[in-house]
Structure 1
Amino acid sequence: MIQEPVTVSTGQVGSVLIVDDHPLYGDALGAALRNEYPGCRIETAQSLRAALKALDDGFRPDLVMFDLKLPDVRGISGFLSLRERMPDLPILVISSLTSTDVVHALMDKGAAGFLPKDACSDVLRKVVGSIVAGERYVPTAYQKAEDTLPSEGAGTGTKLDELTPQQQKIMRLICSGKANKQIAYELCLAEATVKAHITALLRRLGVQNRTQAAMMMESSLAAGQTTDPDALAFLTH
């Protein structure tokens, strides 16, 4: 749990749009905000499309609280779409995706702040007030150091670029949530062949499973570490 001190802000929160596909978590966020800001209008959306529709229908919240993993979008592309639609709207990203590279990419692209989903409610309420008052917030653990040492993920872009063309195609389908049978169908391969390719690409990337491979892809793309066109499609589609 994040337990670092946060200065209490005088920023007032009149309305918030919560974009998260888990209703229980969204309800918990709303309850925490109403407790801190009585009368605050809370609107929820469980997809990027629903969030954009709420904005198109005229809702102008003081703040958007945005999860990166939604049914209709993955990675930071959803954040970028929302940012492009409403460039002056502060967006606090709250996500279980806690790669430092992704956090840095979000802040560089104009996010008002980032909180991991395990942040305590007290920190959440105070950070929201600070952001509405015009401040930006990133937990200390995710801030850029003045003297940057090589990160644990350094070189992951090179690893991804070294995948064979077939492995890159399979990697894209893994990132889009396809099962082995679906990948085999789309690429006209035997399922056993797909499994062999996945085993080989996991070994080449130095990861244990498909989820870790997808996370490596997302972190590498957010940090701009790969120029492979197939890989770049992951964050842009």
Structure 2
Amino acid sequence: MTSLMLCDDHPLILRGLADLIATDTDIDIVATCGSGQQAIDAILEHMPDVAVLDISMPERDGIDVLKEVARKQWPVRVVILTGCITDEQVIQVIAAGAYGIVLKESSAASLVDCLRHVVEGRRWLPSSIVQPAISRASAAARRISPFELLTRREKEVARLIADGLSNKEAAARLAMSEGTVKIHLHSIYSKLGVDNRTAVAILFTRDQLQ
């Protein structure tokens, strides 16, 4: 059973989300709250497996809560649910380690699918949101390497993959399980907008040459 916390400052949306997710018997909603500070308090009390956070909330916004989770290294997978999100926020959210981004205009099924991916340790970062944000930010300011969106571990995995190591070899080099390497690789694919290790190697090599 997966424990879940929901946080949104609109009571009707919060109730609707709770009713929607309650139909999934594999998810237990342990807390609902309406502000960023309440989210922090609920995380400390329940330490849920997954937390769904709205970006715009009183006291502390969703990105601030996400950064606090990353800073404290709490074992909570954060999904950002928002009505709108700027390019800068997309980059901040991914860099801070969010497991998912879902727009409120998406279908109810999208949120459920996202949660199922996150529960399995996979990320839900739609390329339709991520890639345009990176492209526009790159054009507006300095060149932003998509590799900047990777966590330290993901960068290590990407480097070894680019060197031609297999998942098993990379796992041995990094002292982790082969399954963990596969999870990191899936996240790398999602963030870079590719679907195979050859593309990762090409992008990594190109990035190092620039």
Same fold (TM over 0.5): yes
Q: Aligned residue for 2:43? A: 55
Q: Aligned residue for 1:197? A: none
Contact 2:50 2:79 (C-alpha < 8 Å) held by counterparts: yes
In structure 1, give the amino acid aligned to 2:136: S
What percent of counterpart residues are identical?
20
**Structure (1/2) with the larger helix percentage:** 2
Deviation string, structure 1 residues 98-126 (Cα, Å, up to 9, x no partner) = 22332132112100110111111111111
Q: Aligned residue for 1:105? A: 92
* CA distance in structure 2 between the partners assigned to 1:48 and 1:119 by the alignment: 23
* CA distance in structure 2 between the partners assigned to 1:39 and 1:124 by the alignment: 13
Q: Aligned residue for 1:151? A: 136
In structure 2, runs of 5+ residues without a counterpart are 143-210
Larger Rg: 1
In structure 1, give the amino acid aligned to 2:91: H
Q: How far apart are residue 19 of structure 1 and its match?
A: 1.2
Contact 1:18 1:43 (C-alpha < 8 Å) held by counterparts: yes
Alignment length (residue pairs): 142
Deviation string, structure 1 residues 203-227 (Cα, Å, up to 9, x no partner) = xxxxxxxxxxxxxxxxxxxxxxxxx
In structure 1, give the amino acid aligned to 2:12: L
Q: Secondary structure at the match of 2:131?
A: coil
RMSD value over aligned CA atoms? 2.7
* CA distance in structure 1 between the partners assigned to 2:27 and 2:122 by the alignment: 23
Contact 1:30 1:42 (C-alpha < 8 Å) held by counterparts: no
Structure-2 change in CA distance of 1:125 and 1:149 (3 Å)? closer
In structure 1, runs of 5+ residues without a counterpart are 1-12, 158-237
Structure scoring higher RCO (CA < 8 A, sep ≥ 6) equals 1
Structure-2 change in CA distance of 1:113 and 1:149 (3 Å)? closer
Once superposed, which parts of structure 1, at least 4 consecutive aligned residues long, lie more than 4 Å away?
Answer: none
Structure-2 change in CA distance of 1:137 and 1:61 (3 Å)? same
Asked whether 1:44 is paired with 2:44, we answer no
TM-score by length of 1: 0.53
1:76-95 map, 5 Å: 76-95=63-82
TM-score by length of 2: 0.59
Q: How far apart are residue 22 of structure 1 and its match?
A: 0.8
Q: Aligned residue for 1:34? A: 22
Contact 1:112 1:137 (C-alpha < 8 Å) held by counterparts: yes
